[in-house]
Amino acid sequence: MRNKKGQAFGEFDLIERMTGPAGIFSKNLRTGIGDDCAVISGDASFDILLTSDLLVEKIHFDRRWFLPEQIGGKAFLSSLSDIAAMGGLPEFALVSLAVPRSVAGREAEALYRGIRDAAGQFKVTLAGGDLSGSDGRIFIDMMHVGRIEKGRAVLRSGAKPGDRIFVSGTLGDAALGLRALQSDLKIESAEPFIRRQRMPEPRITLGRALSSGRLASAMIDLSDGLSSDLGHLCKSSGVGARVRFKDLPVSKDYRRVCMKLSVDPVSNLLHGGEDYELLFTVPPCDLMGLKQARLPVPVVEIGEILTVSEGLSVEFPDGGCIELASGGYDHFRMDG
């Protein structure tokens, strides 16, 4: 997308332009636009977390590769990841659907069943929503409401130079799964990656452990890709960062499946989105506490927070270091 002067700008530039003049009319807003969730003051013991995600057919999913139940499940679970990124506990969800007449029967019921089953998995109460027809595509708007202990929400803005950067799980899996779905090749070893694409795993229990233990200084979920989401965290915190490529965690068959699908393993690892792992920073004084914590999923140290003047970079095993430019998903980016 370009502005009137012909200058290119992307999704997050547009968000800033749209939301910049927004007024704040309630003293109960603790954290507003710019983080994974809005944080609203509750009572003396807890804060409320609010987040909303819109999923659009042909942009976020394709019915050729997803069963209706999988579409509903992915919509619920991917948006729930925002609650995980704040360290919160999900409680309620509101679901608004717009579906064409061609799916306004059993298919729509199956889609909602996928949402309902995912909600049951995390003991989230479906508290309302809306239903409408559409002119051909499926639209799903998910709103999640969670809670967190007073003042314990882990924001994107808390990282400081010297903090270490950690990530959970493995990276690049969901993006590789999408490439496998788009390919005509039948590769048995690609099935785990396809499952990661179809059914995200929001890291609720990990987020809870990090927030309750006061271990993370900043946190974000990896929805758009490592390069983009680390960039968002660094921008919010006013810092730079360096990532060590050799330490990025990958699945056992990652490189082999990349080769079979002719996917660049480096680019996919740095820029591939939809893994919904947690990326977080830890101050040096809390590293021992993190090591001793009984976390529900593996976490790996992948880099260090630097000063903002040092920028964002990735260091390769041969000693080379290049700028880590944002290459993750952007709805309005124009290449070139």
Please say whether the beta carbons of 226 and 171 come within 8 A.
yes
* Residue 196 to residue 175: CA distance in whole angstroms: 9
Give the pLDDT of residue 109: 93
Helices (H), 128-253: 173-182, 191-198, 204-212, 226-237
Please say whether the beta carbons of 210 and 187 come within 8 A.
no
Domain 14-149 has CATH 3.30.1330.10: yes
pTM for this prediction:
0.90
SS3 label, residue 133: strand
Give the pLDDT of residue 12: 55
| 156-323 to CATH, choices 3.30.479.10, 3.90.550.10, 2.160.10.10, 3.90.650.10 | 3.90.650.10
Please say whether the beta carbons of 50 and 147 come within 8 A.
no
Give the pLDDT of residue 336: 41
Give the pLDDT of residue 13: 66
Per-residue pLDDT tens digits of the chain, which is 336 residues long: 455 444 445 555 665 665 565 667 788 888 888 888 999 998 889 999 999 999 999 999 999 999 999 999 999 999 999 999 999 999 999 999 999 988 778 889 999 999 999 999 999 999 999 999 898 899 999 999 999 999 999 999 999 999 999 999 999 999 999 999 999 788 889 999 999 999 999 999 999 999 999 999 999 999 999 999 999 999 999 999 999 999 999 999 999 999 999 999 999 999 999 999 999 999 999 999 999 999 999 999 999 999 999 999 999 999 899 999 876 544 444 444
Domain ranges of the chain: 14-149, 156-323
Both tokens of 253, joined, read 């068959």
Beta-ladder partners of 304: 164, 242
Order of strands, edge to edge, in the sheet holding 218-221? 218-221, 278-282, 164-168, 299-307, 239-244, 312-315, 321-323
Tell me whether domains 14-149 and 156-323 share a fold: no
